[in-house]
A and B are shown apart, each in its own frame.
Chain A
Amino acid sequence: MMNEIKLIQGAINSTHIGEIYENDKSNNTGAQILFTGKVRPDIINGKIVSSIEFTAYEPMVEEQFKILVEGIKRKFDVFSITLLHSLGNVPANDLCMAVFVSSEHREVTYRASKVLVEKIKSDLPIWGKEIFETGEHQWKVNKM
């Protein structure tokens, strides 16, 4: 089954999402979960986040993704895993991440999806710089 990671310049749009579903060609798929993450217009010390600029250590992201997928597949009986993640500037309220998992049944798909999203956030060398409306910035810190 196909497992794929794509780093996309700018925001993730509905065409990208549509392609994920088109690529899931397993005949036995009975459950599909798509998790999407958006850029939140957080207010930090009175300043509004207007966008996040993402950078990545791309060759290592790809290697870490392979390791992560192998780990998930050892633990869960899933068919395909797809990750889309933005690079560059993504405005507030736009999508910056999409994580897709398919399997035969819903329970394993739910569980695999949750583990996968957490591992993507903790294990992939990607960084976000929060840009405020004032033009100032700070480096994002991931929370639960």
Chain B
Amino acid sequence: MKVRLKYFGVLSEKMNCSSDTTDIEEGTLLSNFLNDKKNSLDVKFKVAVNHKFVEEKILEENDEIAFLPPFSGG
């Protein structure tokens, strides 16, 4: 199934894109998905799924997973 990925700030620059999609197996846990991603993202970041911070969840079709480096508004 497909999930959508969003990259912001310095991560959009490192990934050279701000949004992407990827195929994952049904029943994939967010933590397992992130463990694979962390190797390619060497920046501190938080994760939101469908605009909310979550610790853990079973990812679902079309979920939007956002990679959020430290905020620097204001």
A: which residues have CB within 8 A of B?
Answer: 37, 54-57, 59-60, 63, 85, 96-97, 117, 120-129, 139-142
Contact = CB atoms under 8 A, between A and B. Distances in A.
Given A139-B69, A141-B72, A63 B8 contact: no
Interface in B27-42: none
Contacts of B68: 57, 125
Contacts of A126: 71-74
B69 A97 contact: no
Contacts of B74: 37, 85, 96-97, 117, 120-121, 126, 142
Given A57-B66, A60-B51, A60-B66, A142 B71 contact: yes
Given A57-B6, A127-B9, A85 B73 contact: yes
Contacts of A55: 8-9, 12
A121 B10 CA distance: 17
Interface in B18-69: 48, 51-52, 66, 68-69
B61 to A, nearest CB: 19
14 contacts: A37-B74, A55-B12, A57-B6, A60-B66, A121-B74, A123-B71, A124-B73, A125-B48, A126-B71, A127-B8, A127-B9, A127-B10, A128-B73, A142-B72
A59 B74 CA distance: 18
A97 B12 CA distance: 23
Given A121-B71, A126-B74, A128-B73, 9 more contacts: A57-B66, A63-B52, A120-B73, A121-B73, A127-B8, A127-B71, A139-B10, A139-B72, A142-B73
B12 to A, nearest CB: 8
A121 B66 CA distance: 19
Contact of B51 (A37, A59, A117, A124): A59
